[in-house]
């Protein structure tokens, strides 16, 4: 298995632009998690899905952030409009069941200028 | 006070030394995760444990649920063990709460 796949690996954009991050979980996993990592706040859970349904999105910082999981093999995290404070590394992880070991993707390093 | 605290924050060691990283938490949990983040940024799950001890190669993780404490040990440390080690707990709300991490550097 290729593991969790994220794209793009790096994204540089200007303030106000829409940013879409993509994640393909490990085949067969039914839980998917989006995390954000910054120097100031460390790793934070933004949202997680179980069987494609959003279970908890209380970590989403504000309405500019949205996430979807249209099917078991694909999820997106969208920021519109982006702001410089959104600059961070965004990780996607998947697991079989939300209480089990999570497998992380390589992350997307987002820089908003 | 953070719900998950790790110590030490930074740790340097000589190759071959025995390493201990500690994690204390204040919430009730069903299991605790230990993660490793390499200098390149990738995150790998090392252990998930809910009681006792688990061993994988030179890595050993222990947990004491009553004392709300876990330790990660590395025997015969090697420069390739240099990384940030993060403990994380899922409290009743199911969301993982992460410690701030312990940055380990092992010198040859």
Residue contact B43–A104, C-beta within 8 A: yes
Say yes or no: B30 contacts chain A, CB-CB below 8 A: yes
Residues of chain B positioned with their CB less than 8 A from the CB of A58: 95
Residue contact A103–B45, C-beta within 8 A: yes
Residues of chain B positioned with their CB less than 8 A from the CB of A97: none
> What's the Cα-to-Cα distance from B19 to each of A106, B58, B59, B105, rounded to whole Å?
27, 10, 10, 11
Instruction: Output the average pLDDT for chain B.
Output: 91
B76 preceded by cis ω (within 30°)?
no
CB nearest B90 (choices: A44, A99, A104): A99
Chain A nearest C-alpha distance from B15 (Å): 28
d(CA A26, CA B102): 28
b/e map of B29-48 (b: 16 or more CB within 10 Å)?
bebbbbbbbeeeeebebbbb
Chain A nearest C-alpha distance from B99 (Å): 8
The reported pLDDT for the residue numbered B39 is 84
Reduced to 3 states (helix: H, G, I; strand: E, B; else coil), residue A102 is: coil
Residues of chain A positioned with their CB less than 8 A from the CB of B90: 99
CB atoms within 10 A of CB B61: 23
CB nearest A107 (choices: B41, B86, B98): B41
Q: pLDDT class for B94, splitting at 50, 70, 90?
A: low
A23, A36 Cβ separation under 8 angstroms = no
Residues of chain A positioned with their CB less than 8 A from the CB of B86: 42-43
How many inter-chain contacts (A to B, CB under 8 Å) are there?
Answer: 47
pLDDT in tens, A6-38: 999 999 999 999 999 999 999 999 999 999 999
Reduced to 3 states (helix: H, G, I; strand: E, B; else coil), residue A6 is: strand
Q: pLDDT class for B29, splitting at 50, 70, 90?
A: confident
Say yes or no: B86 contacts chain A, CB-CB below 8 A: yes
The pLDDT of residue A98 is above 70: no
> Percentage of chain A surpassing pLDDT 90?
77
Q: Please indicate whether residue B94 or residue B35 has the higher confidence score (pLDDT).
A: B35
pLDDT in tens, B48-75: 998 999 999 999 999 998 999 999 999 9
The reported pLDDT for the residue numbered B1 is 59
The pLDDT of residue A1 is above 70: no
d(CA B40, CA A106): 9
The reported pLDDT for the residue numbered B93 is 53
The pLDDT of residue A99 is above 80: no
CB nearest A42 (choices: B31, B42, B100): B100
Residues of chain A positioned with their CB less than 8 A from the CB of B102: none
- Beta-ladder partners of A48: A33, A56
Closest Cα in chain A to B86: A43
């Amino acid at each position: 298995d290729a593991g969790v796949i994220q794209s793009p690996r790096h994204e540089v954009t200007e303030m106000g632009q829409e940013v879409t991050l993509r994640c393909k979980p490990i085949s067969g996993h039914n839980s998917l998690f989006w995390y954000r990592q910054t120097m100031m706040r460390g790793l934070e859970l933004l949202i997680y899905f179980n069987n494609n349904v959003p279970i908890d999105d209380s970590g989403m910082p504000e309405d500019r952030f949205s996430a979807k999981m249209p099917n078991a093999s694909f999820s997106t995290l969208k920021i519109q409009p982006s702001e410089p404070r959104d600059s961070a590394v965004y990780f996607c992880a998947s697991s079989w069941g939300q209480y089990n070991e999570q497998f992380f993707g390589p992350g997307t390093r987002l820089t908003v200028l | 006070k953070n719900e998950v605290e790790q110590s030490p924050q930074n740790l340097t060691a000589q190759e071959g030394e025995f390493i201990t990283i500690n994690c204390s938490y204040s919430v009730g949990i069903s299991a605790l995760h230990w993660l490793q983040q390499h200098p390149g940024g990738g995150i790998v799950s090392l252990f998930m444990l809910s009681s006792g001890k688990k061993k994988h190669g030179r890595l050993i993780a222990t947990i004491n649920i009553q004392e709300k404490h876990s330790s990660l040990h590395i025997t015969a440390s090697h420069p390739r063990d240099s990384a940030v080690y993060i403990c994380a707990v899922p409290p009743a709300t199911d969301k993982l709460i992460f410690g701030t991490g312990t940055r380990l550097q092992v010198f040859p």
